[in-house]
Structure formats: C-alpha cells, structure tokens
Amino acid sequence: MEMNWTTVPFVAAAMVMPYFPVTSTTGRAVSSSYRRMVPKDAVYLKDDSDWWSPASREGADLTAEEEDLFEDLRSKKPIPRDLGKFSILGVRLNSHEGDDWLREIEPGLGKTKIVERGDGAAGRSQLCYKSPAGSGNVKLIFEHNEIFYSYYLFDDGHEWKGVEYCAESSKVTTTLATSSGLKLGMTEAETESVLGGPTYARGNIRWYRFEGHRFATDLPDQPEDWVISGTLELRFSNSRLMYLAVSRSEVS
C-alpha cells in the first residue's frame, strides 16, 4: 500500500537537520553566495516539491517549537564514525566537484537527466533512479549542493515534480542495502544493531550525527584540519524503515 508521508509526524527542524550551519576550523566560513553552473543537458525546475530533500525547506521560517528542537539537535555530540560504511552500490559520498560526481554514477546505474532546483544555499543537483515497473516503488536519489553530498533511499511516498526524470535501474530493488547492511524494511532494533542508539529521536524519525577528521598537508608545515561531518535520517512506518537519508560534508 502506498505510504503518504504527509501523514507522518514531521517537523521543519527535521527537514533542516542535515544542513547545520558549517564554519571553518581555520576561521574560514563557507560562503552562502554559492552559484552553480547548470549543465546544458540538465533540467532546471523552479520547484520545491522534492519533499525527500532537506534543501527543499531551506529558508523556511521555523516556529518557536521547531527552533527549540533544532537547537537541541545541534547540541548533541556527534559520534566518531567512518561514513565510508554507508556507501551504496559502490557510490561513496566523497568530496567531488559538483555534477562530475553525479556523472560518475551513471555508468553503473544508467544515463538519466540531472535535475537542478533552487538558487544559492538552496540550490541542488539531483540524479534519480527507481526500481523497474512491477518490482516495487523504490527510489534512490543522489544529490549535491554547495556543501553536502547526499543520497536518499525510500519506498512509496507521494510523488513530486520531476519524478518523471527518474530512470529505471535493475539495481534499485526492495533488498538494496548500504555497505553496512542498512536496508528498507528493517525494524528499529535491526537498524540499531548496525548504528547503535540514535543521536536524537522524535516520533517515527531517528537522527544520527557522525564526525571525523582528515589532516591535509597541501602546504608545507601548514597542515589543515578538515572536519568530515555526516548525518543519517531514518523514518519508520508501521515499525519498518521506509526512508533513509545519508549526507556528508567536508570543510577546513
């Protein structure tokens, strides 16, 4: 039965959770004036109906209750973890340059359109795949914006503008799993056997914050501490995992 995600208890702070303001450990803040060059063969949609992407909520006003929740989420200490364990179909959320990362995915999953949405901090590029007709309603979507490289894996949910650009792939199935073993349909206990307890929980949603460090030595005697931040968001319906979002960023 198709799941209507609009019926799931869901707050604005949950939508923006992966998009914490990121500042530089060396004092250099990430620019908010980012503008992406849209590839000629991409489709640009002036639209925010992509409910599964936190960027669709970028810039939205939060209520006082949502602000409190957002601050509570920010205050939780991230867990040291290698985000490489959450690659999917061999695609890692490494630092790449823009749409080149999306184009690198296509040889393994098939050619499709890059969909561009939004501007500035809300601008995002997306590459969508879906399970073949008659074998479920699973979507696997890769996305990048100024800071974050992400993917979303979910089953059912209401449609959005641009879903027609999702390409069928025989590799997108109901049994598709991350390299660590996370897959749709798992119980909360099963996900915790992989991830441990969540950083924060509310209703049917669980969030995990991870962090790591990489020291770059591009300049002699001037090593830089690059902070690798990651988030996982899990949404459950009828006690089963129906939505998984994984995001990664890396800044100095």
Going along 82-192, which residue ranges are E strands? Answer: 115-117, 124-130, 138-144, 149-155, 167-168
Backbone angles phi, psi at 139, to 5 degrees: -120, 140
Q: Up-side HSE of residue 152: CA atoms within 13 Å toward CB? A: 23
pLDDT in tens, the chain (252 residues): 344 443 333 333 333 344 433 333 333 334 334 445 555 678 999 899 999 998 887 766 777 777 776 777 677 766 666 666 789 999 988 655 666 888 889 999 999 999 999 887 778 999 999 999 888 899 999 999 877 899 999 997 889 999 999 999 999 999 999 999 999 999 999 999 999 999 888 899 999 888 766 655 555 666 666 667 788 999 999 999 999 999 987 665
β-pair type (124-130, 138-144) = antiparallel
Taking CA atoms, 32 is separated from 12, 22, 37, 53, 118, in Å, by: 21, 10, 15, 19, 13
CA distance 27 to 34: 18
Angle at 20 between CA 15 and CA 25, to 5 degrees: 165
pLDDT of residue 186: 98
What confidence score (pLDDT) does residue 240 get?
Answer: 97
* Cα-only R_g, the chain: 18
pLDDT for residue 216: 57
Q: How does strand 167-168 pair with strand 115-117?
A: unpaired
The structural domains of the chain, with segments of one domain joined by +, span 5-251
* pTM, two decimal places: 0.79
What does the alpha-carbon distance between residue 33 and residue 121 come to, in Å, rounded to a whole number?
7
Are 153 and 234 spatial neighbours (Cβ–Cβ below 8 Å)? no
